[in-house]
Amino acid sequence: MTFGMIVGNRGFFPDHLAKSGREEMIAAIQKAGHEVVAVGPEETKYGAIETRAEAARCAGLFRAHRDKIDGVIVTLPNFGDERAIADCLRMADLNVPVLIQATPDTPGRMTIRDRRDSFCGKMSACNNLKQYGIAYSLTTLHTETPDSPEFAADLDRFASVCRVVKGLRRLRIGAIGARPAAFNTVRYSEKLLERSGISVEPIDLSEILGRINRMTDSEAQPKLDAIRQYVSTDNVPADALMKMAKLGTVIDTWMQQTQVSISAIQCWTSLEEFFGVVPCTVMSMMSNNLVSSACEVDIAGVIGMHALQLASGTPSALLDWNNNYGSDPDKAVCFHCSNLPKHFFKSARMDFQEIIAGTVGQANTFGTCVGLVKASPMSFARFSTNDFTGTIDGYVGHGEFTDDPLDTFGGAGVVRIPNLQKLLRFICENGFEHHVAANMSTVAAAVHEATTRYLGWNVVMHE
């Protein structure tokens, strides 16, 4: 990622701290693998900003790199000039996340030569940003050195925040097919999503099936090879595998043509009745390749998947809050039938979909990814458009997938979430959907910060 960097300075504090502080912060950012855009010592005194002219010079540099900068880091090696910092951000008008860091004083080095007062200056900088209406993030500790483990962790979290904000503000989602009639729960407002920069590109399922009918087997051969390499297909009929390959090829091509990043697909039960397979493996492969895909045209659900994936850099799944697990109030079974990415499984195989098979016949339901979810930390997220208040609401939190035994079909795992009963009550009282996005990571806090602080959504963090 690329971060703009502002080094605060204030004339009656030691200038040499601005010089060394700039170098230390650049080293910390680059050590984490990121790039830095910052004015140099030849452009402003020590490459810091104090005057309005220096702020304007820094803002001009930021504007010139607008398309490259993902976030801005404000470092305060001394008190810093709060007006220059706020003016620079206002003039740059990047509308990206901002992280405020202050370097601690060292006991025994509190004379006029080495005293920082960044502890105090950070409050003044935040006060001015609040006055200017500029959203910002804070480090975990009030003061942290750039080379500390604490700041390294905060920088990693801030990078996740920036990825989520950037990824959601410019998101295009493919809605493949109509919402199944039996799933009122996945209704959503395109207009509310559009207000946050999220666009939905629909295509009718008949167009997908029509393009498949025009396709030769040879055109789908690369996708067929990929399916066979992805998961065990023993005992799956060859004609069903070819149907999946053609479906995947058509979806891939359409998404490239329309420049959509993720998708939500109609399944229940049109594809099974009129095409003869379930789309689960095709969707599993997409999600495993960080191109999240949700079933039942759950657009809000795939946004949750994508947000978690942006934050963590790993695949997400869409699950049902599906069953209690014995009498443990903090455990539940999360399940889908299933299109979970292979990343989630202890081991996986392709099979038929046992639920739909009872209606349309086993031969028409091959293509599910079956297996148990492996033990792992877990982040979860759910967003929903609220037409009554004109807001996007949601909740996020942390838990874990456990190794508890489970004898079932589809893709399933046992989750343990502290205060789960409180969360379930919150879901029911506020009318949230039964679907939840999950990711094998601990990034819920970053998703919460990105969506509430920078996107203005009404998202609750489950404690």
Dihedral pair phi/psi, residue 432, rounded to 5°: -75, 160
CATH code, domain carrying 85: 3.40.50.10940
Domain-terminating residue out of 148, 169, 190 = 169
State whether 223 and 322 are in the same domain. Answer: yes
Percent of the chain, pLDDT > 70?
100
Q: How does pLDDT run across 411-436, given as a tens digit for each residue?
A: 999 999 999 999 999 999 999 999 99
The upper half-sphere exposure of residue 166, i.e. CA atoms within 13 Å in the direction of its Cβ, equals 22
The upper half-sphere exposure of residue 339, i.e. CA atoms within 13 Å in the direction of its Cβ, equals 32
The band of 110, judged by pLDDT with boundaries at 50, 70 and 90, is confident
Residue 138 has pLDDT above 80, yes or no: yes
Q: Nearest CA to 164 among 386, 433, 393, 381?
A: 381
State whether 146 and 223 are in the same domain. Answer: no
What's residue 109's pLDDT?
76
Residue 419 is part of which domain span?
172-461
Domain-terminating residue out of 137, 169, 201 = 169
State whether 164 and 199 are in the same domain. Answer: no
Domain-terminating residue out of 139, 169, 199 = 169
Q: How does pLDDT run across 29-66, given as a tens digit for each residue?
A: 999 999 999 999 999 999 999 999 999 999 999 999 99
State whether 318 and 269 are in the same domain. Answer: yes
CATH code, domain carrying 437: 3.40.275.10
What's residue 15's pLDDT?
83
Q: How does pLDDT run across 351-406, given as a tens digit for each residue?
A: 999 989 988 999 999 999 999 999 999 999 999 999 999 999 999 999 999 999 99
State whether 165 and 200 are in the same domain. Answer: no
Q: How far apart are CA 361 and CA 319, in angstroms?
A: 24
State whether 6 and 95 are in the same domain. Answer: yes
Residue 111 has pLDDT above 80, yes or no: no
Mean pLDDT within 314-319: 98
State whether 106 and 193 are in the same domain. Answer: no
State whether 189 and 141 are in the same domain. Answer: no
Specify burial of residue 461 (Cβ count, 10 A radius: 0-12, 13-18, 19+): middle
State whether 203 and 147 are in the same domain. Answer: no
State whether 157 and 268 are in the same domain. Answer: no
State whether 98 and 179 are in the same domain. Answer: no
Residue 425: C-alpha distances to residues 270, 304, 419, 430 (Å): 33, 20, 10, 8
Q: How many domains does the chain have?
A: 2
State whether 197 and 122 are in the same domain. Answer: no
Q: How far apart are CA 251 and CA 215, in angstroms?
A: 13
